[in-house]
Structure 1
Amino acid sequence: MRKRFVIIGGDAAGMSAASQIRRLQPDAEILAFEKGSTLSYAQCGLPYLIGGVVPEARNLIARTPEEFRDKYRIEVFIRHEVTKILPEENAVIVKDLAEGSEKRFSYDTLLIATGGHAIFPQWEGRDLEGVFPLKDMDDALRIQGWVRKEHVSKVVIVGGGYIGLEMAEAFHHLKKEVAVLDLAPQVAGTFDPEMAHLAQQELEQNGIRVALNEEVVALRGEKGRVTGVETKTGFHPADLVLVAIGILPNSELAKNAGIELGVKGAIRVDDRLRTNRPNIYAAGDCAVHHHRVKEAEDYIPLGTTANKQGRIAGTNMGGGDAHFAGVVGSAIMKVLNVAMGRTGLSEREVKQLSVPYEVVSIRSRDHAGYYPNGEQLHLKLLYHKENRKLLGAQIVGKHGVDKRIDVIATALYAGLTIDQLQELDLSYAPPFNSVWDPVQQASTVAGRS
């Protein structure tokens, strides 16, 4: 008899796994259930769709349900929610959200790829028209529709993290008056304060208002429409409010099935993406991620990791042998005219782990000083005080941030010391670099200590 693989979730991790299973199991039956209306699309591109940089939603869609069915023989069910996992019976209960009917499907092997959900507090007024979270394509299309059909001149974004700052740029691109509110004393909370301040400067220099240490009390409105955000210190008028204060894993389904959870309530998996229940795997934004520098499980939901975990889970489900090597916390974002990149541990994280450390911070240029149009790079490296192994890095600048942060991410993966950075054979030509790359310049400064 043909084996049946059931996948809960039709985005990055789920469909990466499904495609990999098909390669390894040409005759298997593969069923994928997606609660939303779109599958296999680039969630990270949603701010750029709303801001008009990406012209149409279809540009973000990698494959349609028809392509999966016709080309890969993967049966995809859109607007179908798995409401219960029955591990003892190797079965799931699925609700057709269009018809309201429920049906039972058996499986030989199951993947939970339910992703995460936007944190959306129970503030008074959260149900007003014009108030939105942003997590999936449906959210993006609702925001886009509101902006196009309604008179929107003032936008308030609650949350100054990755999505909040990318959406601040998107609304600025649409020529809206934008304010960013954050409960914390800084934006870009995963960065150290002095690096985050560079992002705040960029926002404010472009006319985006930043209000920190702001605790939301309620969302206010008239005639069912939002008119602003009330905080403990004042009122911020708005025609549109975006709530972007982070995401949490969709792990309730797994929890109810007796599957073990880990940090931040994400599904605990081993390096082959297996849960504690036989024949059940988990991957993506619903699962934990091993952090190579912390040497512990973590939760860092990113599209790159979801695709990687999905492929590894699919390989193992299909009979192969693949292992998830873990993450080092690499991320990058564009804030108007600057890029902010980070990898490894921040100074705050190092302190929390009680690791003895040293810091080196420099200002350099993205290419040779005599070559025209060079831009400043702010670079910060952390390394272990005793064994001098790299612990993390943060870089902010207009050009060349991605190149350098990826070099350091690779060095972290390999366990290099701060001093070994000087030995790397990095590319050089005046339009691209100095004879000594800024990463190596920082290593040289650290070598003097």
Structure 2
Amino acid sequence: MKPEQTIVVIGGNAAGAAAAAKAKRINPNAKVILFEQSKYISTGTCELPYVLSGEIDDPLSVVFFDEKKFEYEKNVKVFTKYNVEKINVHTKSILVLSLIELKPFEFKYDKLILATGSRVKRVPQFSSELTNVSPLKSVEDVIRIKKFISEAKQKRVCVIGSGYIGLEAAEALNKLGFEVYLIEQEREPFPSTDKEIRQRVKKILDEKRINFLGSAENVKYRFNNSKVAALVIEGRQIEIDFAITCTGFSPNNSLAFQAKLDIGKYGGIKVNNRLQTSQKDIYACGDCIEIKNFVTRIDDYFPLATLAHREGHIAGENAALGNAYLQPAIKNISVKIFDHYFAQVGLSEQELQNKNIPHSTVEETVPNLVKVLKESNLVYGKILFDRSSKKILGASFLGGKEVSGYADIISTYIKNNIPATQLANTEYNYTPPLSPMINLLSVLGRKAAHSFSQGKENNDVTYINNNMDFKL
């Protein structure tokens, strides 16, 4: 039987909720308390763009637990609208402020779990006092933006940032009939991806009449009555109703800094493989930490819901005197871009180049179903692999829903150190309405094998089918 202990969790989203529930399951004798600054816990962040578009009707439908339900089902006491302002590592206590009563109080812990998540990177030109600007990160945000939508007069909106969330927000607003201006600091959209993907995404945006404005230093803003009122582009003024900031995330580490916990290269909390921080009684999980990248074997920053949930379980188990370990992770991420789907796994070519990692590439565009079916479309894939060992370092795909499965297969290959050439020897299922006779991965595997059979192991090798344009 495990001893009585007090386990405090700070943060109530994917990682925090998972950590609290797991800690209570591992040690039923523990008193587990969760503090959350906002009104909601256990929310679906990835679903928010689809709430915005109306594909999910009610914003509150992505709130999976409230305080009462969580306490009833998980036996964890939850306090929402409570902000933890300070950690005292010497007295093992936290200073908590009720945001309703504005009364501070001290709370003791035996073990503490930080699940403070991430913050949206701010736009330097925008003050916090602007009343028609919002990120798209929380249920409160999507409720606020829906109010902007209902009050819009110009039916014109600015989305700042063309990464994953920026593209999703642009699509959602386009579906609602808004004229969308998508602003990006870099020259091309989706800057974290390889050039082949960036070029294809630009074609998709043009087809859907999204006004993409790269090199954002050319874009200025006009403000009026605490609102961003217009874009100014080369002397031309474009009035807008509101702006959504989708400029990426950074770890929310203010409490960790205050407690003098070790911080990593990307601003995330440093943890060991048990998710223990530099203070042995404090654990951390989710978007506030850095974890080991399986491909590079060095610490990296992966603000992904799937990893946050896994990390929450591990931190919760270990805080409850368990013994769980986090293995190095592979980035595996996907997004819907209008009628297409993108998936990336492992490292991009841009990342490999930045890290000076020698590699070879193969790429191809093929039908995702047999050509005679009217539903058949083209899918693009690119594999990056080590020149000598043939091990896969990363891959990216753009096509239909099949790209999700491709990315998962490649993730399995990376995790098990299977060489890229074995993709040609894998058995793929085939039935005309579902899958092609010749799988894209098989084609890429044969091309990888061909590059080695030609004795080109020491050179970058790229194969492209120039006769197949990506169909929009």
TM-score class, shorter: over 0.9
Equivalent in the alignment of 1:228: 230
Structure 2, unpaired ranges of 5+: 452-472
Instruction: Classify the secondary structure of the residue corresponding to 1:312.
Output: helix
Note the C-alpha offset of 1:233: 7.6
Equivalent in the alignment of 1:122: 124
1:365 pairs with 2:367: yes
The separation in 2 between residues aligned to 1:40 and 1:32, in whole angstroms, is 11
Note closer, same or farther for the CA distance 1:125–1:257 as it changes in structure 2 (3 Å cut).
Answer: closer
The separation in 1 between residues aligned to 2:135 and 2:128, in whole angstroms, is 10
The separation in 2 between residues aligned to 1:290 and 1:220, in whole angstroms, is 43
Q: 1:375 aligns with which of 369, 377, 381?
A: 377
1:389 pairs with 2:391: yes
Q: Is the 8 A contact 2:120 2:248 kept in 1?
A: yes
* 1:41 alignment partner AA: T
Equivalent in the alignment of 2:466: none
Q: Is the 8 A contact 1:215 1:232 kept in 2?
A: no
Note closer, same or farther for the CA distance 1:185–1:253 as it changes in structure 2 (3 Å cut).
Answer: same
Equivalent in the alignment of 1:407: 409
Q: Is the 8 A contact 1:214 1:232 kept in 2?
A: no
Note the C-alpha offset of 1:216: 6.7
Note closer, same or farther for the CA distance 1:21–1:232 as it changes in structure 2 (3 Å cut).
Answer: farther
Note the C-alpha offset of 1:421: 1.6
Correspondences of 1:167-246 after superposition (within 5 Å): 167-215=169-217, 219-230=221-232, 235-246=237-248
Note the C-alpha offset of 1:70: 1.8
Note the C-alpha offset of 1:219: 3.3
* 1:81 alignment partner AA: N
Structure 1, unpaired ranges of 5+: none
Q: 2:14 aligns with which of 1, 12, 15?
A: 12
The separation in 1 between residues aligned to 2:430 and 2:58, in whole angstroms, is 38
Note closer, same or farther for the CA distance 1:31–1:172 as it changes in structure 2 (3 Å cut).
Answer: same
Equivalent in the alignment of 2:340: 338
Note the C-alpha offset of 1:336: 0.7
Note closer, same or farther for the CA distance 1:150–1:190 as it changes in structure 2 (3 Å cut).
Answer: same
The separation in 2 between residues aligned to 1:291 and 1:372, in whole angstroms, is 41
The separation in 1 between residues aligned to 2:234 and 2:115, in whole angstroms, is 38
* 1:359 alignment partner AA: T
Note closer, same or farther for the CA distance 1:435–1:217 as it changes in structure 2 (3 Å cut).
Answer: closer
Deviations along 1:385-413, one digit per CA (max 9) or x if unpaired, are 11111011010013311111111111111
Worse overlay, 126-135 or 10-19 = 126-135
* 1:101 alignment partner AA: K
Instruction: Classify the secondary structure of the residue corresponding to 1:185.
Output: coil
* 1:339 alignment partner AA: Y
The separation in 2 between residues aligned to 1:212 and 1:92, in whole angstroms, is 45
Equivalent in the alignment of 1:92: 94
Q: Is the 8 A contact 2:297 2:328 kept in 1?
A: no
Note closer, same or farther for the CA distance 1:231–1:99 as it changes in structure 2 (3 Å cut).
Answer: farther
Equivalent in the alignment of 1:263: 265
Note closer, same or farther for the CA distance 1:415–1:231 as it changes in structure 2 (3 Å cut).
Answer: farther
Note the C-alpha offset of 1:257: 0.3
Note the C-alpha offset of 1:319: 2.4
Q: Is the 8 A contact 2:160 2:243 kept in 1?
A: yes
* 1:285 alignment partner AA: D
1:156 pairs with 2:170: no
Correspondences of 1:41-56 after superposition (within 5 Å): 41-56=43-58
* 2:362 alignment partner AA: V
Q: 1:33 aligns with which of 32, 35, 44?
A: 35
Instruction: Classify the secondary structure of the residue corresponding to 2:55.
Output: coil
The separation in 2 between residues aligned to 1:80 and 1:240, in whole angstroms, is 30
Q: Is the 8 A contact 1:288 1:297 kept in 2?
A: yes
Query: Normalising by structure 2, what TM-score?
Result: 0.92
Q: Is the 8 A contact 2:154 2:239 kept in 1?
A: no
Note the C-alpha offset of 1:16: 0.3
The separation in 2 between residues aligned to 1:317 and 1:436, in whole angstroms, is 49
* 1:244 alignment partner AA: C
Deviations along 1:230-268, one digit per CA (max 9) or x if unpaired, are 467865431111111111110011111010011211001
Note the C-alpha offset of 1:8: 0.3
Equivalent in the alignment of 1:277: 279
Worse overlay, 227-236 or 9-18 = 227-236
Deviations along 1:201-234, one digit per CA (max 9) or x if unpaired, are 1111011111111227653233333212346786
1:353 pairs with 2:355: yes
Note the C-alpha offset of 1:124: 5.0
Note closer, same or farther for the CA distance 1:413–1:231 as it changes in structure 2 (3 Å cut).
Answer: farther
Deviations along 1:180-208, one digit per CA (max 9) or x if unpaired, are 01011221122101112211211110111
The separation in 2 between residues aligned to 1:146 and 1:44, in whole angstroms, is 21
Instruction: Classify the secondary structure of the residue corresponding to 1:265.
Output: coil
Note the C-alpha offset of 1:325: 1.4
Note the C-alpha offset of 1:53: 0.8
Note closer, same or farther for the CA distance 1:276–1:223 as it changes in structure 2 (3 Å cut).
Answer: closer
Worse overlay, 236-245 or 422-431 = 422-431
Q: Is the 8 A contact 2:30 2:320 kept in 1?
A: no
Correspondences of 1:73-112 after superposition (within 5 Å): 73-112=75-114
Equivalent in the alignment of 2:303: 301
* 1:322 alignment partner AA: A
The separation in 2 between residues aligned to 1:33 and 1:304, in whole angstroms, is 22
The separation in 1 between residues aligned to 2:159 and 2:298, in whole angstroms, is 33
The separation in 1 between residues aligned to 2:312 and 2:127, in whole angstroms, is 38
Instruction: Classify the secondary structure of the residue corresponding to 1:253.
Output: helix
Instruction: Classify the secondary structure of the residue corresponding to 1:121.
Output: coil
The separation in 2 between residues aligned to 1:336 and 1:384, in whole angstroms, is 33
Note the C-alpha offset of 1:121: 2.8
The separation in 1 between residues aligned to 2:152 and 2:313, in whole angstroms, is 42
* 1:137 alignment partner AA: V
Instruction: Classify the secondary structure of the residue corresponding to 1:349.
Output: helix
Q: 1:60 aligns with which of 59, 62, 72?
A: 62
* 1:287 alignment partner AA: I
Note the C-alpha offset of 1:22: 1.3
Note closer, same or farther for the CA distance 1:229–1:399 as it changes in structure 2 (3 Å cut).
Answer: same
Q: Is the 8 A contact 1:82 1:94 kept in 2?
A: yes
* 2:403 alignment partner AA: V
The separation in 2 between residues aligned to 1:278 and 1:37, in whole angstroms, is 30
Equivalent residues, number: 449
